[in-house]
Amino acid sequence: MNAEERRFAVLRAIVADFVRTQEPVGSKMIVDRHNLGVSSATVRNDMAALEDEGLIVQPHTSAGRVPTDKGYRLFVDKLAQVKPLSPAERRAVQAFLDGAIDLDDVLRRSVRLLAQLTRQVAVVQYPTLTRSTVRHLEVVALTPARLMLVLITDSGRVDQRVVDLGEVLTDTDVAALRNMINGALVGRPLAAASAAVAELPLTAPGELRGVVTTVSSVLIETLVEHPEERLVLGGTANLTRNAADFPGSLRQVLEALEEQVVVLKLLAAAQDPGTVTVRIGEENESEQMRATSVVSIGYGANTVLGGMGVVGPTRMDYPGTIAAVHAVARYVGEILAGR
């Protein structure tokens, strides 16, 4: 082992110990717990070098060292391969997810699973509407002058919307409307479908034209202009476990999670399926998330449906978290493929 390698080994040791103990780690600790085959003095020299590179800092003189965000970054980058979950864990994941009865259930189970495996806050995005394909659109007359539109997409997502019409419809009208819209929508990805819907009023029979115009504009508004992005959260209680890691900003993190927008942006930005993305501390654009790391991935079968991930303190078990996120995303993808 040359000097270069050893220095990195020291960094790794610092990260590992600090993540475990939550306390600055000194040179003595390191030689005691990790057998590097060198003395503490040597480690001290290495640590001085690491500090010069900005990979670690000491909170105050005469305390051990703590990794910086940059230090974590190097640590994560050099993490050769994803350490797979244990067979037992894999079985547990699969068994837990297999019991799900519908999309909602799959997503809810996923967050719970992720939160439990990582002991962090888990986050799962509903399948993005814009990338889905329409399977069916049901039109139900709540009253003669009010319709409920229920959109079912191939991702299993079901969305609803109530429309107030200016006029009264008969059952036959409703059926005609349903057939018309479905003819234009079914089997198309949402982007294409919306274009088709926009043209519906032109071909509609005269007596239905008003209704079709209303309905199609509502559809376009809900599905294209303001496609609802939803988020499932879980394990927020885990934040308090690491309360010490968020000096006073725990509040901000909770607020950011509730905002949803912030998290959705993070997830949207990192959706390579099969590749876990890690954002460490200051790498997050959002002010409120500067104290957190986000480990995320895209999930889905053949196409990416949405993102999922974990939010925690920068001081987190990166290898374990990455493995868990990776595994859960894969199983969720498999399960959704079968639906």
Partner DNA sequence: TCTGGCACTTGCCCGCGCCGAGTGCCATCT
Partner DNA sequence: AGATGGCACTCGGCGCGGGCAAGTGCCAGA
To the nearest whole angstrom, how small is the minimum distance from the Cβ of residue 339 to its own copies? 7
Q: In this chain, which of 32, 53, 98, 102 binds its own copies, going by CB under 8 A?
A: 102
42 binds, among its own copies, DNA, none (CB under 5 to 8 A by kind): DNA
Q: In this chain, which of 8, 12, 58, 135 binds DNA, going by CB under 7 A?
A: 58
219 to each of 141, 160, 202, how far by Cα in Å?
16, 10, 16
251 binds, among its own copies, DNA, none (CB under 5 to 8 A by kind): its own copies
Q: Name which of 58 and 94 has its Cβ closer to DNA.
A: 58
Q: Is 199 exposed, middle or buried (CB count within 10 Å of its CB: 0-12, 13-18, 19+)?
A: exposed
83 binds, among DNA, its own copies, none (CB under 5 to 8 A by kind): none
Each residue 59-78 as x (binds DNA by CB under 7 A) or -, in order, gives -xxxxxx-------------
Pairwise CA distance, residues 263 & 125, whole Å: 9
Question: Which structure tokens are listed for 301?
Answer: 């079968």
Phi/psi for 305 (5° steps) reads -90, -40
Q: Does 57 bind its own copies (CB under 8 A)?
A: no
Q: Name which of 111 and 266 has its Cβ closer to its own copies.
A: 111
Pairwise CA distance, residues 54 & 77, whole Å: 16
Question: Which structure tokens are listed for 101?
Answer: 């009865």
Q: Does 148 bind its own copies (CB under 8 A)?
A: yes
The CA-CA-CA angle for residues 224, 336, 270, to 5°, reads 60
Q: Which amino acid is at 96?
A: F
Pairwise CA distance, residues 230 & 322, whole Å: 23
Could you identify the residue written with the tokens 């993540």? 19
Name the 3-class secondary structure at 236. coil
Cβ neighbours around 312 below 10 Å, total: 27
Q: Does 161 bind its own copies (CB under 8 A)?
A: yes
Q: Does 236 bind its own copies (CB under 8 A)?
A: yes
Q: In this chain, which of 32, 167, 207, 258 binds its own copies, going by CB under 8 A?
A: 258
- Residue length of the chain: 339
Q: Are 297 and 307 in contact (CB under 8 A)?
A: yes
Question: Which structure tokens are listed for 317?
Answer: 């078990």
Q: Does 307 bind its own copies (CB under 8 A)?
A: no
Residues 116-135 that bind its own copies (CB under 8 A): 135
47 binds, among DNA, its own copies, none (CB under 5 to 8 A by kind): DNA
Q: In this chain, which of 6, 178, 188, 265 binds DNA, going by CB under 7 A?
A: 6
The gap between the terminal CA atoms of the chain, to the nearest Å, is: 51
Q: Is 301 exposed, middle or buried (CB count within 10 Å of its CB: 0-12, 13-18, 19+)?
A: middle
Q: 149 has which bridge partners?
A: 139, 161
Q: What is the DSSP letter of 133?
A: B
Q: In this chain, which of 11, 13, 19, 29 binds DNA, going by CB under 7 A?
A: 29
Q: In this chain, which of 24, 71, 127, 306 binds DNA, going by CB under 7 A?
A: 24
Q: Does 51 bind DNA (CB under 7 A)?
A: yes
For DNA, how many residues bind (rule: CB under 7 A)? 26
Q: In this chain, which of 37, 87, 166, 247 binds DNA, going by CB under 7 A?
A: 37
Q: Which amino acid is at 263?
A: V
Q: Does 150 bind its own copies (CB under 8 A)?
A: yes
Q: Does 47 bind DNA (CB under 7 A)?
A: yes
Instruction: Candidates 11-19, 125-133, 153-161, 292-300: pick the segment binding its own copies (CB under 8 A).
Output: 153-161
Q: In this chain, which of 82, 250, 268, 301 binds its own copies, going by CB under 8 A?
A: 250
Give the binding site for DNA (CB under 7 A).
3, 6, 24-29, 37-42, 44-45, 47-48, 51, 58, 60-65
